[in-house]
């Protein structure tokens, strides 16, 4: 019989689609027929028991490795006669056969103990009471090895987003049986770049929408049917809904009260203090023994930062570790939740997710858990949008690159040549009571497509400054980090700065066929990367500083990496603005504790972006050499 993981593209796509439909119709018949489910309360070293669902292959002709997922989002369905629709990261694993393990982490759903968000790591444990997610993972694997028959003595762990954090947390002091770990879009730093803050700015919509449900206290073990109910905002337009709340302090008064502990913690820690630093697992990623496959999406609204910086931390602190990176053209978890053929309005010409599953993820775990052939993975497997091709690099960022600088110019120009103008700047007014929306149209919830969406709507606003190159005469491929270096002034004492890198399509760009949404691709302004910087943190995230009104000030910050080809005939555009609502909370444009500001503290401010030969504003990009 032909090995499943060597199926052709067409066969694989058809099988995945048919399998998904089959599973839904037959109520997980394949899982029931081929796996026995048991549920256990696994004891940790401090006596707390964690609820764990275990699916064991009925075929006893071989021994199987463990594939473990630890999650705060429930291991549903509960009951030994209730089966999941599918098992493992993708159907390739289900058919191959593993012992699949799903565990409610400490303090969530049916597990005992107290839950702590992104529980801090304890490197030097002095007693059995010193527990963290690393020790809980270690104890779980140890119990599984001793109590589940027909295992081959090896374990792997994987997870996306918050479960990605639990995958990363398995690495410090890993159990000897843990051979392969794949943190995917892992939560890594909730103040600098993941989920709820970017460069110190609160990602308002995400933080509110997550904690309105997730943050509800659990007084005792419960199943989802007894858990928190969905929140339905009284205003369906999320822009107007968050406007109606007013200052951040009103969230607690109008909606949360004292019930959402982590929201209150966020509001009490408005700088990068020990509360946030202790949650950062990257300094603890040393002496790594298991093989690691870090996976992320360039268009991941939640945790693109986490994937890139987890890989970087392991690589820097463990030069000899088996550490690989995959970055594709995906939204949050898109490599497992879609075919990856397109995202938003943009087509990639191939099923990128299925390619990843068949050629990277599955072979990686097969090599380290079942002693199959070397997966032959590159150090960095990267999908470059624009040119729409997978590239394999010996490092990330690639070595064969050079830094180049795109300079903002007068009259909305953008050039790789430094400006020669005297005393040149753009001046405009930013009003926090009329903030720039993050996306065109009306949305009830924050969409994932905004990460790649058309920016023409923003370019029309007077409080968004637009700079673009002439039509490109050759392809330019960017592979690596971006660095914004702005020269600005404001009439206020604080300000946010949002820099967006955009691919402008030619006016004669062909329309998609079919085109049910009526998309006009001629002149389309595809967002490649956007990022915010809370201005008061421009010199230090620990010690914020006020702006001096009217004084030219440098605001420099890093944007997450990109991999994109600006094709010949396109243009490169940069947009600069001071609000991005309700994605980012409003800056009052006054130097104060924004989390405790009053409604009357929000004020208009006059901003200047300078672009002359003395005060330059620019974006440094990493250009791949031809």
How high is the pLDDT of residue 281?
Answer: 98
**pLDDT-wise least confident of 12-16, 362-366, 529-533, 597-601:** 12-16
Mapped onto helix, strand or coil, the DSSP state of residue 285 is: coil
Under 8 Å CB-to-CB from 67, ≥6 apart: which residues?
87, 88, 89, 93, 98, 99, 100, 101, 155, 156, 157, 158, 365, 369
How high is the pLDDT of residue 26?
Answer: 42
Per-domain boundaries in the chain: 4-189+279-393, 401-624
How high is the pLDDT of residue 511?
Answer: 86
The number of beta carbons lying within 10 Å of the beta carbon of residue 289 is: 16
For domain 401-624, give the fold: Jelly Rolls (2.60.120)
The closest of 508, 504, 494 to 536, measured between CA atoms, is 494
How high is the pLDDT of residue 173?
Answer: 97
* pLDDT tens, position by position, 353-382: 999 999 999 999 999 999 999 999 999 999
What angle separates helix 133-147 from helix 162-169, to the nearest 10 degrees?
A: 80
* pLDDT tens, position by position, 88-123: 999 999 999 999 999 999 999 999 999 999 999 999
Q: Is residue 27 very low, low, confident or very high in pLDDT (cuts 50, 70, 90)?
A: low
Mapped onto helix, strand or coil, the DSSP state of residue 29 is: helix
Tokens representing 218 are 């659990």
ω before 395 within 30° of 0 (cis)? no
How high is the pLDDT of residue 16?
Answer: 44
353 near 331, Cβ under 8 Å?
no
Percent over 70 (pLDDT), the chain = 96
Report CA-CA distances (Å) from 433 to 4, 29, 464, 594.
57, 55, 15, 15
Decide if pLDDT at 7 tops 50: no
What is the rounded average pLDDT of the residues 156-174?
Answer: 98
How would you classify residue 27: left for phi > 0, otherwise alpha for psi between -120 and 50, otherwise beta?
left
ω before 75 within 30° of 0 (cis)? no
3-state secondary structure 93-159: HHHHCCEEEEEECCCCCCCCCCCCCCCCCCCCCCCCCCCCHHHHHHHHHHHHHHHCCCEEEEEEEEE
Burial class (CB in 10 A: 0-12, 13-18, 19+), 371: exposed
Q: What is the DSSP string of 35-94?
A: EEEEEEEEEPTTS-EEEEEEEEES--SS-EEEEEEEESS---S-STT---SS-SSSHHHH
Decide if pLDDT at 480 tops 70: yes
Q: The tokens 């104890």 sit on which residue?
A: 139
User: Taking the model in full, what pTM does it have?
Assistant: 0.95
How high is the pLDDT of residue 516?
Answer: 73
How high is the pLDDT of residue 5?
Answer: 36
Q: Is residue 28 very low, low, confident or very high in pLDDT (cuts 50, 70, 90)?
A: confident
Q: What is the DSSP letter of 18?
A: H
Question: E strand or H helix at 566, and its extent?
Answer: strand 553-566
Decide if pLDDT at 1 tops 80: no
For domain 4-189+279-393, give the fold: Rossmann fold (3.40.50)
* pLDDT tens, position by position, 172-230: 999 999 999 999 999 999 999 999 999 999 999 999 999 999 999 998 999 999 999 99
Distance between CA atoms of 477 and 385, rounded to whole angstroms? Answer: 9
């Amino acid at each position: 019989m032909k090995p499943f993981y060597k199926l052709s593209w067409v066969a694989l796509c058809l099988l995945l689609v048919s399998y998904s439909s089959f599973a839904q119709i037959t109520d997980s018949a394949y899982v029931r027929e081929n796996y026995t489910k048991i549920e256990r309360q696994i004891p940790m070293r401090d006596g707390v028991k964690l609820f764990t669902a275990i699916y064991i292959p009925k075929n006893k002709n071989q021994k199987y490795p463990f594939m473990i997922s630890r999650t705060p989002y429930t291991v549903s369905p509960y009951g030994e006669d209730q089966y999941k629709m599918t098992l493992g990261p993708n159907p390739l694993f289900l058919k191959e056969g593993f012992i699949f393990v799903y565990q409610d982490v400490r303090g969530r759903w049916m597990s005992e103990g107290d839950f702590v968000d992104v529980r801090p790591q304890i490197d030097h444990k002095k007693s059995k009471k010193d527990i963290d997610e690393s020790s809980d993972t270690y104890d779980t694997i140890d119990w599984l090895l001793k109590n589940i028959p027909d295992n081959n003595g090896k374990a792997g762990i994987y997870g996306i987003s918050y479960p990605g954090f639990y995958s990363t947390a398995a690495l410090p002091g890993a159990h000897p049986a843990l051979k392969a770990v794949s943190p995917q879009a892992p939560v890594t730093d909730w103040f600098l770049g993941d989920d709820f803050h970017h460069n110190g700015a609160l990602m308002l919509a995400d933080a509110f929408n997550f904690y309105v449900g997730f943050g509800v206290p659990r007084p005792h073990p419960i199943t989802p049917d007894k858990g928190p109910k969905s929140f339905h905002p009284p205003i369906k337009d999320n822009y107007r809904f968050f406007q109606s709340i007013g200052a951040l302090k009103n969230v607690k008064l109008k909606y949360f009260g004292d019930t959402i502990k982590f929201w209150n913690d966020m509001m009490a820690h408005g700088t990068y203090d020990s509360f946030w630093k202790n949650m950062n697992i990257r300094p603890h990623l040393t002496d790594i023994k298991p093989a690691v496959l870090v996976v992320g999406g360039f268009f991941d609204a939640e945790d693109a930062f986490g994937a890139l910086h987890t890989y970087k931390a392991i690589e820097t602190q463990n030069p000899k570790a088996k550490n690989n990176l995959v970055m594709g053209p995906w939204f949050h978890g898109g490599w497992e939740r879609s075919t990856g053929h397109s995202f938003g309005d943009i087509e990639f010409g191939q099923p990128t997710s299925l390619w990843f599953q068949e050629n990277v993820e599955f072979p990686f775990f097969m090599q380290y858990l079942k002693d199959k052939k070397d997966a032959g993975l590159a150090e960095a497997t990267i999908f470059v949008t624009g040119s729409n091709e997978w590239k394999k690099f010996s490092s990330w960022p690639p070595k064969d690159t050079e830094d180049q600088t795109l300079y903002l110019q007068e009259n909305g120009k953008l050039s790789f040549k430094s400006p020669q103008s005297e005393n040149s700047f753009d001046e405009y007014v930013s009003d926090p009571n009329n903030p720039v929306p993050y996306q065109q149209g009306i949305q009830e919830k924050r969409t994932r497509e905004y990460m790649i969406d058309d920016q023409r709507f923003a370019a029309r606003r007077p409080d968004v400054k637009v700079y673009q190159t002439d039509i490109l005469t050759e392809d330019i491929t960017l592979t690596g980090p971006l660095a914004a270096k702005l020269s600005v002034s404001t009439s206020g004492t604080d300000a946010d700065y949002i820099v967006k890198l955009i691919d402008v399509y030619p006016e004669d760009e062909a329309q998609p066929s079919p085109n049910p949404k009526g998309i006009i691709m001629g002149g389309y302004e595809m967002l490649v990367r956007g990022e915010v910087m809370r201005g008061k943190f421009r010199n230090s995230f620990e010690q914020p500083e006020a702006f001096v009104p009217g004084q030219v000030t440098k605001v420099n910050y890093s944007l997450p990496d990109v991999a994109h080809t600006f094709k010949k005939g396109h243009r490169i555009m940069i947009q600069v603005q001071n609000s991005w609502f309700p994605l980012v909370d409003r800056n009052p444009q006054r130097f104060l504790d924004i989390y405790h500001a009053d409604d009357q503290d929000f004020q208009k401010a006059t901003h200047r972006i300078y672009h002359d030969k003395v005060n330059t504003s620019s974006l440094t990009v990493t250009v791949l050499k031809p």
